[in-house]
């Protein structure tokens, strides 16, 4: 009986801990996805900027 009670208590402790852990994982995943979205936008803008700069440089007359 003591073993069954101990096992029941362990399960009761584990269940909320697991729920907290899963909630934390979901929250952190959302934050990471937001950060990745921001990084993706920044990389796209940098790519556009580099392309525009390259076009400007190619349009410059070459010194002789």
Q: Is residue 53 predicted with pLDDT exceeding 80?
A: yes
Report how far apart the first and last C-alpha atoms of the chain are (Å, whole number).
96
Q: Indicate if the pLDDT at residue 14 is higher than 70.
A: yes
* pLDDT confidence of residue 36: 97
Question: Which pTM was predicted?
Answer: 0.57
User: Would you place residue 15 in the very low, low, confident or very high pLDDT band (cuts 50, 70, 90)?
Assistant: confident
For residue 15, the tally of other CB atoms under 10 A from its CB is 10
CA distance 36 to 42: 10
Work out the mean pLDDT of the chain and round it to a whole number. 89
């Amino acid at each position: 009986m003591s073993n069954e009670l101990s096992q029941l208590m362990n399960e009761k402790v584990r269940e909320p801990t697991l729920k907290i852990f899963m909630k934390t994982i979901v929250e952190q995943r959302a934050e990471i996805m937001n950060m990745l979205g921001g990084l993706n936008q920044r990389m796209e803008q940098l790519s556009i900027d580099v392309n525009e700069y390259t076009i400007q440089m190619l349009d410059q007359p070459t010194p002789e």
